Homo-oligomer: A and B are copies of this chain.
């Protein structure tokens, strides 16, 4: 069921470039993932190194599935649309990288490149558990990405620079964000924020479970250490999730006051912590909703495809784009 975007059982390669990993897969137009390969994002994640990985993944996937008809990419950062030029990313080193042109030249297949959260939102809108024509997806991982579906289509702005939802300002006096600003939603409610809060906790209380878990592993505290402690019921770690989730909910409310949304989906690595994150987010989204009795409140739900949203959405993008070309 792809509505106006009927593609008839075709397959595409979907590539997902994130801050920590690069995934590639062959995906069927109903969302079935046939093969998946994953590599680590290189330390120096400039265009040259990332491109090498991308082309290697594409070649291996195509050798296994020569029937693929298109390539789609979702990448962290600001992507010019429809040119497929990645201009800049807060957590990767590539700059002004013409991904679409490179892929089309290397493969001879039609390619389409968009922001990673945009393609995740596309997967949700076209193939998700419920299909909403007006929805928002926030990917909560290293950073916070945002994808907006308005009247059934991805909102990109005229050249693809729109929907930078992780960089709304939720408190102008807040902590410094990876993008250089202060008080972005990403600075308060991302994996990076959880790492920062976990380290503050461990420094203030070396006897805390968070500090002890890190010491046992001989590693620095990360967001995952906090998640582990919270999973063991540690009140201090759970309190950090409550704060993180509350900020996420404030951001959701702010965005939902702008758009008339039928649903808000949360994806990215942190959504795997489930209600630890989602319950405080829902509470704050209700508390800060404008005119809730009149406008209603959009449900805040985990994304349908979890960590596969990027590769599936990228493949859907590739297929839709190839069908339109």
Spell out A's residues near B (CB within 8 Å).
78, 87-88, 90, 133-134, 146, 150-151, 155-165, 167-173, 179, 181-184, 246-247, 250-251, 253-255, 257-260, 284, 287-291, 293-295
Contact = CB atoms under 8 A, between A and B. Distances in A.
Contacts of A295: 78, 161, 164
A186 B90 CA distance: 30
A253 B179 CA distance: 14
Contacts of A293: 88
Given A161-B295, A162-B260, A257-B164, A290 B170 contact: no
Contacts of A160: 260
A168 B185 CA distance: 12
Given A172-B170, A172-B171, A250-B169, A159 B260 contact: yes
This chain: copies in complex: 2
Q: Which of A165, A255, A260, A293 has the most chain B CB atoms inside 10 A of its CB?
A: A260
A289 B165 CA distance: 12
Contacts of A133: 158
A257 B290 contact: no
A293 B181 CA distance: 13
Contacts of A257: 164-165, 167-169
B259 A179 contact: no
Nearest to A150: B155
A169 B253 contact: yes
A77 to B, nearest CB: 9
Contacts of A164: 257-258, 290-291, 295
A282 B173 CA distance: 18
A295 B162 CA distance: 9
Nearest to A80: B294
B290 A158 contact: no
B88 A291 contact: yes
A270 to B, nearest CB: 20
B163 A258 contact: yes
Nearest to A246: B172
B168 A254 contact: yes
Nearest to A290: B167
Nearest to A160: B260
